[in-house]
Every structure is written in structure tokens, then in C-alpha cells.
Amino acid sequence: MWGDFRYILFYIVGVMSTGDYLGAFEHLVLLSLLRLNDRAYGVTVRQEIAARTGRDVSVGAIYTTLERFEVKGYVRSRMGEPTAERGGRAKRFFRVTAKGVRAVNSTHEALRSMSLGLELVRSLS
Amino acid sequence: MTRHRATPPHIAAWLVNLVAAPEQAETILGDLLEEFSSIVSRSGTAPARRWYWRQSVRTIAHLIRGQVRNAPAETVAFAVGGFLLYVVVERALQMSAQAIIAHSNVYYYISALVFWRAIDDVGRYVLPVMVGWTIARAARGREMMVALSVGITETAWILAIYANWLLASSGRRWINIPDFSMMSIFCPPESGPPHDASVMNTVRLLRFTLTHWWIPTIVLLLAGAAIRRATSSGRSLRRETAQ
């Protein structure tokens, strides 16, 4: 309940702001983080993108993007517990911040307004 | 019956560990191992190892590109700074060799061939390792990327020298681009192109420079950076274990 309310709030704030726009891959990564919520780490993000878009992305591409997002303040990360299946290494979980949600919304808004009235695009798809 | 647990390719994992920032390496290797294990149980060891190699190569490429993209100004600074450091130490070696000859009767003890061979070997094999190690020390977490960027700067410099020679041979004005290699002792830059600058001859000399000087330099620069990275990772691992 609180989660939904928070995202609605973020959406309203995001639509009002004219923030940064995301690249296509950055957009996919942030959307997959939003979908995965508390389960978002390298493997699940990779699998989510592959399952929904068919794109086989590398772990390096995801971490490079996430690192950039962390510097920009779009995501926050925390370390999980080390597990045996990972050779005693910990998972690094990511979560989208309010600023990240605003960036997603700004991009959506820009794409929506750019494609508005383009019947040709719709007829081709 | 004992079941052997499949392990990912060690070299691939080592390379990823070398290129990734220390705080990133553990997470990335953990992710790769997790997916590797699930592919082993689904499809077997061979496809899983192939997958691991493919992922590692792509991951390394992305990490290097990401490190450049995330700090472009620093990357350029390291590339130019590392190249200048290399030039300074190479020049210092050349000047030391010339000073030894001028002030002592070195040829009395060893032949000129042995002396210059030793100087050439130090310049060719020892200096790049030292420079690679030094710049890697300055660029913690991006050791391999900065060593590679210095190598790329050197490559650009060599290609500029040879392109200049070629242009000079086609009648254009010759620009004095200093040659910092050991060859410049014998052919000072002021004397102009030290060879017949025909296309065939320039290509032949370029090939010789690339195989005898450029490739060893790049490999040894990377080796110096890798040594620095491996020793610093080992030290921080020991520190973590002690804590």
C-alpha cells in the first residue's frame, strides 16, 4: 500500500520536473530494478532484461550502468549475506531512489510526447 | 561415489578480477559463479564454461569502457601522464648510458654490443613494467584501464611518426615528431627520417617497430599493472582476513 502510494508520489514529482533523460539500456536497467524491488541484484536484473526483451546483456554492462546510477543518485546499494552458491561472496542489492524514479518518468514523458500523433509508428508496429 | 563440483575457468575469473574495481570484483564474480552453477545443473559443464568465458570477455570490455566513460578527464590525464613518465624514464636511461660512455672507459671492460644490448633490454623489458606498476599504483581500481590507455597513446605516437615519414615522402613538409625509442640515440630527430621513406620501406619498418618494440611494451605495461593489482588485492585480502 505504502509502496504504491510512494510510486504515485514519485510519478507526480517526476512529471513536474524536467530532469535527466535515460538512454535505452539505462531505461531498461532502472525499470527492471523497479520491477524486482527488493530482489534486484546483478543476476536477477540480467535475467529480467533477458526474459522481457530477449537481450542477453553482460554482467559488466549492468554493473557499469548501476555504478554510474549510484554516482548520479538514481540508485542505492546494500550488501547481502555471503552465500555458498556464490563461493562465499555477497550479493549487492540495488534500489531505485526518488531521483531515479523521476529520471524514468521524465524519459517516459519525453518519449510519449515525441511519439504523440505519429500514426505511422503505430501502423508499422 | 565422489562427485566433482564444476569450477569456472580460472583464467577468465582472474582476468575479470584484474579489470574490475576491487569492490566490484567480488560481486561480479559471485554473480558469474551463481549463473555458472545454474547452467551446469541445466546444460552441463562444457556449455557453462563457454558461457562463462563469453560473459567474462564481454564484462571486461564493458568494465573498461565504463571506467573510461565514468571518468573521461582522468583517463586522458593518466594516458598522457603515463606516456610522459615513460618518455622521461626512457630518456633518463639513454642519457645515463651516454654519460657512462663519456665519463668512463666502459668499452674496456665489456664490448659495445653487450653494453648497448643491456641498455636496450632494460629500456625494452624493465622500464615498461616499472611504468605500468607506477601508473597502476596511482590509479587504484582502474589499473588495467590506465595501463591500456598509456599503450594506446604510445601506439598513436608511433603511428603519427610513421605517417609523418610517409607524408614527407609524398612531398609534404616534414614535421618534427620526436621519437622517444632507443633508436633516437643513433638517429637524432633533427636529422629527419632515418630511412628511405618509401611506402614499402615505411611499412616494413613499422612492422618491425610494432613486433619488436610496441607489442612487448604494451604487454609489459599491462604486466606491471597486473603485478601491482595482484599484490594490492592480496594485501587488502590479508587485511580483511586479519580483521
- Per-residue pLDDT tens for B154-200? 888 888 888 887 787 777 776 777 766 655 554 544 445 555 667 77
User: Quick check: B103 pLDDT over 90?
Assistant: no
CATH number at A2-124: 1.10.10.10
Q: What is the pLDDT of residue B188?
A: 47
Q: What value does the mean pLDDT take over residues B96-116?
A: 88
Domain boundaries, chain A: 2-124
Q: Does ipTM surpass 0.95 in this model?
A: no
Q: What value does the mean pLDDT take over residues B105-110?
A: 86
Cβ within 8 Å, pair A46-B61: no
Q: What is the pLDDT of residue B183?
A: 54
User: Quick check: A33 pLDDT over 50?
Assistant: yes
> Which of B128 and B234 is assigned the larger pLDDT?
B128
Which H or E run includes A82? strand A75-83
Cβ within 8 Å, pair B31-A86: yes
Express as a percent the part of chain A with pLDDT over 90. Answer: 61
Phi and psi at residue A114, to the nearest 5°: -70, -30
- A84 Cβ under 8 Å from any chain B Cβ: no
Q: What value does the mean pLDDT take over residues A115-119?
A: 80
User: Quick check: A17 pLDDT over 70?
Assistant: no
In this complex, which of A64, A85, A89 lies closest to B27 when CB atoms are compared? Answer: A89
Strand, coil or helix: A89: strand
Query: Which residue reads 552441463 in cell numbers?
Result: B44
Cβ within 8 Å, pair A63-B29: no
Confidence of residue B121 (pLDDT cuts 50, 70, 90): confident
Q: How many CB pairs under 8 A join A and B?
A: 77
pLDDT tens across B9-47, in order?
999 999 999 999 888 899 999 999 999 999 999 999 999
Q: What value does the mean pLDDT take over residues B207-227?
A: 86
Q: What is the pLDDT of residue B28?
A: 95
Question: What do you get for the CA distance between the two ends of chain A, in Å?
Answer: 35
- A92 Cβ under 8 Å from any chain B Cβ: yes
Nearest to A92 by CA among B23, B21, B33, B27: B27
Domain boundaries, chain B: 10-69, 71-242
| CA B226 – CA B219 distance, rounded (Å) | 10
Output the average pLDDT for chain B. 83
Cβ within 8 Å, pair A42-B31: yes
Q: Which of B6-10, B94-98, B174-178 has the lowest mean pLDDT?
A: B174-178
Highest mean pLDDT among B85-94, B172-181, B229-238 belongs to B85-94
Confidence of residue B53 (pLDDT cuts 50, 70, 90): very high
Cβ within 8 Å, pair B70-A67: yes
Cell numbers describing residue B30: 559471485
Cell numbers describing residue B14: 582472474
Paired sense of beta strands A75-83 and A89-96, if any: antiparallel
In this complex, which of B35, B63, B69 lies closest to A60 when CB atoms are compared? Answer: B63
